[in-house]
Amino acid sequence: MFFLGNVILQKWFRSVFTTVIAMLLSISMPGCQIGPIEELSPLGLETPVSDKNSNQTATSTKSLESSSTDHSYEKSYNLPPISQVANNVAPAVVSITTERMTLDFFFREQVVPGGQGSGVIFDQKGLIITNNHVIENSTNVQVTLLDGRVFEGIIIGSDPPTDLAVIKIDASNVPIARLGTTAKTIVGDWVVAIGNALGDGISVTQGIVSAMEREATVPGSCQIENVIQTDAAINPGNSGGPLLNLEGEVIGINTAIARNAEGIGYAISIDEAYPIVNQLVERGRVLGEPWIGIRVGEVSAAVAQQFQLNTNEGLIVSPIKDSPAWKAGIKIGDVITYVNNKKIKTSIDLDAMLSSSKVNQEIKIKTDRFGEILEFELKLGEKPRLCE
């Protein structure tokens, strides 16, 4: 009997305890009471706002909107539309059509279509940057502006190793594009490509900077360093056209695409193009570097033993035919040990000497020819600018 009473008492205590706890919760947390569903903000989110009088919470769309202005990345969306960039720069982008001379079956000269490309006017004198491979071996160059005007293009100069060229049209009141810089360009920046894609006239594509300081092989098998990689569509005919940032500045010259990939295009950095274009405008060509005209290998103990040399230091050389070294009498197997009385141990030593020299400067070279010490005086030549 005592046991049964104890069980009943425990059940009654638990029931009363549960009821008291529920009453306390309902008093201290009125916001949890079941009631009508409140309207959500446009994003479907609720932002709690303190009520000074009742200490209750409520939703506030205004608070949500104001808090969104605190995002640090919001300024990245404050960009001009692509249409604005295109409309501002497209008038300065030209279509280029070329013709070249060839021989027919009977070895008679005939003019045939060469190719099509693009260019960008950068000077009021009608100067246009384009690619070397667009105008290479051309006999006639035709330039068409966006407004329909057509001009004969005069080739001012070209540089195959960098795939750059400058042509000129005799025109007045031409629109020009602003040349920018890649100093602040980073991966992920939006870019715009404009050009004569597929020869159908000026068109516009957009993308981002996918990578910087890439290497690209352009038509003609030239290897170009420090190019911009982009996924903006660059099609045949776009070559020579500008790659723009969203400020409408030219940051690259579109030059090639990756043949075995999709969405990979390359543009020559405008910072790399500046000195080349300036030389083409001033001289019609790019001056070569000071040149001795030798192929070299660094001498080590193993090399000395293999070729039975009398020295373990220096550069074993092979002169290039008709080069300054060839004409001075340097022969294959000679080991250069001194240049202008400075000891030469590695190719880096020789390159450092050449970088501080000038074309046509006279230098003295001391060599070891299987134990015979010889001295040569030669005048530095100009290194041919060829694709490497």
CA distance 326 to 334: 12
> If we measure between CA atoms, which residue out of 111, 117, 66 comes closest to residue 94?
117
Closest by CA to 79, choosing from 246, 249, 250, 251, is 246
Q: Which helix (H) or strand (E) holds 46?
A: none
Bridge partner residues of 48 (DSSP): 59
Is residue 83 among the annotated active site residues?
no
| Number of Cβ atoms within 10 Å of the Cβ of 318 | 15
The C-alpha atoms of residue 121 and residue 179 are separated, in whole angstroms, by 10
Q: Which of 38, 77, 73, 31 is nearest to 59 (CA)?
A: 38
- Residues 95, 118, 133, 334: which is the catalytic one? 133
- Tokens linked to 278: 């300036």
Residue of 159, 163, 334, 368 marked active site: 163
Q: CB-side exposure of 91: number of CA atoms within 13 Å?
A: 8
- Start-to-end CA distance of the chain, whole Å, equals 108
3-state secondary structure of 30: helix
Dihedrals φ, ψ of 125, to 5°?
-75, 0
Q: Can you tell me the distance from the alpha carbon of 247 to that of 79, in angstroms, rounded to the nearest whole number?
A: 9
144 to each of 169, 174, 221, how far by Cα in Å? 10, 12, 28
Specify whether the CB–CB gap between 233 and 193 falls below 8 A: yes
163 is catalytic: yes
Taking Cα atoms as reference points, which of 286, 259, 261, 293 lies closest to residue 272? Answer: 286
Point out the catalytic residue in the list 239, 269, 323, 357. Answer: 239
DSSP-based three-state secondary structure for 352: helix
Q: Of 137, 118, 136, 138, nearest to 128 (Cα)?
A: 118
Contact 339, 325 (CB under 8 A): no
Active-site residue numbers?
133, 163, 239
